[in-house]
Amino acid sequence: MSIQNVSLSGKKIEVSNKKMTFLESLYLVAIAKGLMITIKHLFTRKVTIKYPEETRELSPVYRGQHMLMRDDEGRERCTACGLCALSCPAEAITMKAEERKPEEKHLYREEKYASIYEINMLRCIFCGLCEEACPKQAIYLTKSRVMVKSNTDREEFIYGKEKLVMPLDMAIRNTQMQTAN
Amino acid sequence: MDQAIIIEKGIFIVAIFAITMLFAMYETLAERKIAAWLQDRIGPNRAGPGGILQPLADGLKLFSKEEFFPATENRFLFICGPAISMITALMTSAVIPWGSSLNIMGRDVVLQATDINIGILYVFGVLSIGVYGIMIGGWASNNKFSLMGAMRAASQMISYEVAMGLAIIALTMMTQSLSLSDIAAGQHGWRWNVLYQPVGFLIFLVCSFAETNRTPFDLAECEAELIGGYHTEYSSMKMGFYLFAEYASMFISSTVLAVLYFGAYNYPGMDWVKDNAGANIASILGIGVLFIKICFFIFFYMWIRWTVPRFRYDQLMKLGWKMLIPLAIANIVITGILILFFDNNLHL
């Protein structure tokens, strides 16, 4: 076998321009072969997912919407260090830090907290680097199947703390489960 | 002629018209469903259960579209085009024998609108007029693409009519009759013409694809080259009529194929049914069998459409003139020799 005929994929077929015989030029055999191939597809499993009724199965490493976590006493973990914003390749995260007042000790764990924490969902690529960067384990990408709804207003896509921070009842449930164990 | 026969034929004609329309309507859905299935998809399924109302939705959509006229002087011809297509598509069904006779209240009701003794010639005549629908529409559109599509359709239909006619000559040599009811009755039980005329059947099949402008011979409306071919300028229900006429003629040509070659309303064991269950039951069963055959051919049309790519124009002409016509002539000669040797044992 000469080097020209080697096919790495094993699918290479030499083009031949030989003249067709009368029977071949009627295309009957070729069409019959083709018909057999297509009729097989009539009985194969269909790949379509009927979207609103069925949804696609998610990957085990799927990353959904972000959540700002609370600790087991229900205090926000975020200390507004800005590492998540720094690590974000899409520059989707903005925050404003503020010093904790003495009467806010039950609200925030660290002495500094994020008074504003915003993620622009139009920019976010759900890569999970913020989650990796966070030293306080404050931000996580959940397995939430809720997709960001389409909208005509850009402001709607900037998620603030009211959408990102873990709901309190969820934090309470987590703590209860931990103490039960 | 008594009044009863007028009423009887009237009801029959209306029924055939309704059935043809219903078939044409649901062929559009069937086409989309089969296309989807052959491509591992599921097809339209939103309008009604399983998409059963899709044809109605399509029709409603076409009705509500803007009625557009191109800048042409031939407004009358422009409207004539789809009308002629539709009329010719529906006219062929007049001579089709849909079943043997039914006995209703002591009257023998023949299930055929009219039994003329040159049925096949009538079918051919009407088919040939069909080309005018496309030709006039393409011409009146005042558009180069339309005209080219129409020219292609005309030359293709005329070329393939020759081979089709030659295929039929071999058949009529066997059946000794041009009447469709005689041909249908002659295929009693298992003696279907396809078993005696396999080559003739193949030629006829290929030609009927060309005559109905279906893939692989749909050069007349080839989107890649001609936008929409002869119906580029058509919109709204005039466009709908062209599409509808195509589906109606597909139904009719499936019927002609079934009647000429696949034994029409005959099925094996029909004598047994007639003796045991009565002539009416046997006859109704025969109608059912005919419709099963028709449905098979309609499916076959669609199956071919989603399998075979479109022919190039030179391939089309070569296949028609250099392959099918010599084959048809050889078929006639061989049929003649066989009839000479075996005398009349071949038929009836």
Structural domain range at position A99: 66-180
What's A72's domain CATH number?
A: 3.30.70.3270
Cα gap A109→A75, rounded to integer Å: 5
State the total domains in chain A.
1
DSSP letter assigned to residue B322: I
Written as six digits, the tokens of B342 are 């075996």
Task: Examine the pLDDT at A161 and tell me if it is beyond 60.
Answer: yes
Are B40 and A50 within 8 A, CB to CB?
no
Written as six digits, the tokens of A44 are 């194969």
- Please report whether residue A124 resides in a domain: yes
Cα gap B232→B255, rounded to integer Å: 29
Q: Which of B39, B304, B308 sits opposite A41 (nearest CB)?
A: B39
- Please report whether residue A16 resides in a domain: no
The residue of B31, B37, B201, B214 whose CB has the most chain A CBs within 10 angstroms, and thus the best one to mutate to test that interface, is B37
Task: Examine the pLDDT at B348 and tell me if it is beyond 50.
Answer: no
| Residue corresponding to tokens 């069998």 | B289
Chain A, nearest residue to B33 by Cα? A42
On chain B, the residues whose CB falls within 8 A of the CB of A27 are: 319
Q: Which of B42, B306, B308 sits opposite A31 (nearest CB)?
A: B308
Query: Is there a contact between B170 and B127 (Cβ–Cβ < 8 Å)?
Result: no
Highest mean pLDDT (candidates A76-90, A145-159, B37-51, B266-280): A76-90
- Please report whether residue A58 resides in a domain: no
Chain B, nearest residue to A22 by Cα? B323
Task: Examine the pLDDT at B224 and tell me if it is beyond 90.
Answer: no
> How many other C-beta atoms lie within 10 A of the C-beta of residue A174?
16
DSSP letter assigned to residue A154: G
**Which contiguous run of DSSP H or E holds residue B269?**
none
Highest mean pLDDT (candidates A10-14, A116-120, B260-264, B266-270): A116-120
The structural domains of chain B, with segments of one domain joined by +, span: 65-345
Written as six digits, the tokens of A45 are 């499993």
Query: Is there a contact between B74 and B142 (Cβ–Cβ < 8 Å)?
Result: yes
Are A50 and B327 within 8 A, CB to CB?
no
- Please report whether residue A171 resides in a domain: yes
- Please report whether residue A173 resides in a domain: yes
Three-class secondary structure of residue B335 per DSSP? helix
The residue of A38, A50, A51 whose CB has the most chain B CBs within 10 angstroms, and thus the best one to mutate to test that interface, is A38
Model confidence band, residue A150 (pLDDT cutoffs 50, 70, 90):
confident
| ipTM associated with this complex | 0.72
pLDDT, tens only, B71-102 = 877 888 888 888 888 888 888 888 888 877 77
Cα gap B204→B210, rounded to integer Å: 10
> How many other C-beta atoms lie within 10 A of the C-beta of residue B65?
13
**Which contiguous run of DSSP H or E holds residue B55?**
helix B54-63
Are A35 and B45 within 8 A, CB to CB?
no
| Residue corresponding to tokens 């087991």 | A72
pLDDT, tens only, B191-219 = 888 888 888 898 998 888 888 888 788 87
Whole-number pLDDT of residue A2: 57
What's at B87, amino acid-wise?
Answer: I
Model confidence band, residue B242 (pLDDT cutoffs 50, 70, 90):
confident
Query: Is there a contact between B37 and A41 (Cβ–Cβ < 8 Å)?
Result: yes
**What's this model's pTM, rounded to 2 decimal places?**
0.78
A/B interface, count of CB pairs below 8 Å: 43
pLDDT, tens only, B99-143 = 777 777 667 777 777 778 888 888 888 888 888 888 888 888 888
On chain B, the residues whose CB falls within 8 A of the CB of A37 are: 307
Model confidence band, residue B299 (pLDDT cutoffs 50, 70, 90):
very high
Written as six digits, the tokens of A140 are 């996580």
Three-class secondary structure of residue B78 per DSSP? helix
On chain A, the residues whose CB falls within 8 A of the CB of B318 are: 25
Cα–Cα nearest to B300, from B240, B263, B257, B261: B257
Instruction: Reduce the secondary structure of B155-179 to three states and give it as a string.
Output: HHHHHHHHHHHHHHHHHHHHHCCCC
* A42 Cβ under 8 Å from any chain B Cβ: yes
| Residue corresponding to tokens 């006779």 | B101
